[in-house]
């Protein structure tokens, strides 16, 4: 067994500095108003949500788990060899979370989709979106608004502040967010369907984020979201509700696929960088859900744009002055396992 050590004793000095910087940048986490106390960190969605359930050691595996993991590991190795990844998206192609008070003025957000969806337009008719809000840089322009006082959450894809006001191409809204499973469907909002949501899988983009609160506490006690370059066409796995997969490769993971690290793996023996160890512990306890297609294998860290700084960057940041790919090169990819999947054809 490894000797017991305090968290501070295992953190490099740059990480201790990053924690101090983060404490100054953010005085409250995304769920500060809803958190029950320091010993119960806020987590989006219901305790029984797939995002929040610890996995039993005996969770059944997919019969081809080894082949799927080998294919994913080959992709990671290819990205490392070509300097394309893997990555942790933070200040681009991730998700800023705006936690707003009860009195936040509301604005309409126009749905610009070619589909007419009255229920979604109604859900966006009065959004407590701050006038200075900025969607994430990158191709998806994601943004989440979380209002603890009303227990409501709104999320957007292709959000823009245009001359005609706020507009978005797609997204969703949740009432009673703390009891929602973190996926879109009829329970999310009156008239909601499984096609709602800012991701291509209808898994909420607030789910699976490495949040700033996780970083402050030094522990991720929820499942993680991941994007992969090849997503299976034609079917998806629960808890996903849809897919934009295009790959006919039989080893392409479907959206909604649930991976985990082997529960018998002794992480302390691997001497992982602190952030990599946090990710690995979460992957072992809660797992990783395939949420979207991405340009490379990527985890998602909360976009820090709302803080006025970047706790990830620089020599004293959580990336320790290097690239996420270098941190993730130490992640034990070959020890992942694919859990048994409940597949649905995207044709019906």
Integer Cα distance of 236 and 91 in angstroms: 28
28: left (phi over 0), alpha (psi -120 to 50) or beta: beta
CB 303 within 8 A of CB 96: yes
Integer Cα distance of 64 and 335 in angstroms: 14
pLDDT value, residue 38: 46
Tokens of residue 41, six digits: 């960190």
What phi and psi, each to the nearest 5 degrees, are found at residue 276?
-60, -40
Task: Spell out the long-range contacts of 231-238 with Cβ–Cβ below 8 A and sequence spacing 24 or more.
Answer: 231/255, 231/290, 231/292, 231/293, 233/346, 234/345, 234/346, 234/347, 235/343, 235/344, 235/345, 235/346, 236/201, 236/343, 236/344, 236/346, 237/290, 237/341, 237/342, 237/343, 237/344, 238/341, 238/342, 238/344
Strands 87-89 and 152-157: unpaired
pLDDT value, residue 159: 97
Tokens of residue 263, six digits: 């529960």
Residues 6 or more apart in contact with residue 74 via CB below 8 angstroms: none
How many CB atoms lie under 10 A from the CB of residue 190?
Answer: 10
List, edge to edge, every strand of the sheet that includes 224-228: 87-89, 298-300, 224-228, 288-293, 258-261, 336-338
Q: Whose CA is closest to 243, among 140, 114, 346, 348?
A: 346
Instruction: Output the CA–CA distances (angstroms, integers) from residue 114 to 110, 201, 279, 283, in the order listed.
Output: 12, 19, 39, 38
pLDDT value, residue 8: 39
pLDDT value, residue 306: 85
Stretch (H or E) spanning 344: strand 343-345
pLDDT value, residue 42: 83
Q: Whose CA is closest to 50, among 239, 281, 285, 280?
A: 239
Which residue do the tokens 């209002």 mark? 147
pLDDT value, residue 308: 81
Tokens of residue 81, six digits: 């060899």
pLDDT value, residue 7: 41
Taking CA 234 as the corner, what is the angle to CA 222 and CA 348, rounded to the nearest 5 degrees?
Answer: 95
Number of H helices, E strands in the chain: 7, 15
What phi and psi, each to the nearest 5 degrees, are found at residue 167?
-140, 150
How many CB atoms lie under 10 A from the CB of residue 114?
Answer: 6
From first to last of the 348 residues of the chain, give the pLDDT tens digit: 444 443 434 455 555 555 545 554 554 456 544 443 445 678 999 999 999 999 999 999 999 999 999 999 999 999 999 999 999 999 889 999 999 999 999 999 999 999 889 999 999 999 999 999 999 999 999 999 999 999 999 999 999 999 999 999 999 999 999 999 999 999 999 999 999 999 999 999 999 999 999 999 999 999 999 999 999 999 999 999 999 999 999 999 999 999 999 999 999 999 999 999 999 999 999 999 999 999 999 999 999 988 888 889 888 899 999 999 999 999 999 999 999 999 999 875
């Amino acid at each position: 067994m490894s000797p017991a050590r305090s968290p501070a004793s295992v953190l490099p000095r740059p990480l201790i500095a990053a924690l101090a910087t983060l404490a100054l940048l953010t005085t409250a986490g995304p769920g500060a108003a809803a958190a029950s106390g320091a010993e119960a960190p806020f987590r989006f969605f219901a305790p029984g949500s797939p995002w929040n359930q610890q996995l039993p050691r005996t969770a059944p595996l997919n019969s081809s788990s080894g082949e799927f993991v080998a294919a994913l590991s080959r992709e990671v190795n290819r990205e490392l060899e070509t300097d394309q990844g893997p990555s942790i998206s933070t200040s681009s192609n991730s998700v800023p979370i705006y936690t707003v008070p009860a009195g936040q003025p509301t604005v309409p957000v126009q749905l610009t989709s070619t589909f007419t969806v009255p229920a979604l337009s109604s859900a966006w008719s009065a959004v407590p979106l701050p006038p200075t809000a900025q969607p994430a840089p990158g191709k998806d322009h994601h943004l989440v608004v979380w209002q603890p006082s009303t227990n409501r959450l709104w999320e957007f894809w292709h959000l823009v502040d245009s001359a005609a006001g706020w507009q978005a191409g797609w997204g969703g809204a949740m009432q009673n967010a703390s009891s929602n499973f973190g996926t879109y469907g009829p329970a999310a909002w009156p008239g909601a369907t499984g096609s709602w949501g800012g991701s291509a899988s209808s898994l909420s983009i607030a789910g699976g984020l490495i949040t700033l609160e996780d970083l402050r506490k030094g522990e991720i006690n929820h499942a993680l979201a991941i994007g992969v370059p090849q997503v299976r066409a034609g079917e998806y796995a629960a808890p996903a509700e849809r897919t934009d997969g295009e790959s006919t490769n039989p080893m392409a993971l479907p959206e909604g696929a649930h991976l985990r690290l082997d529960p018998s793996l002794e992480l302390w023996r691997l001497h992982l960088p602190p952030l990599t160890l946090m990710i690995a512990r979460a992957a072992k306890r809660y797992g990783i859900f395939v949420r979207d297609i991405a340009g490379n294998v990527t985890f998602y860290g909360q976009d820090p744009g709302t803080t006025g700084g970047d706790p990830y960057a620089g020599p004293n940041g959580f990336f320790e002055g290097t690239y996420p790919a270098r941190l993730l090169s130490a992640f034990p990819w070959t020890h992942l396992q694919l859990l048994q999947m409940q597949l649905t054809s995207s044709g019906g």
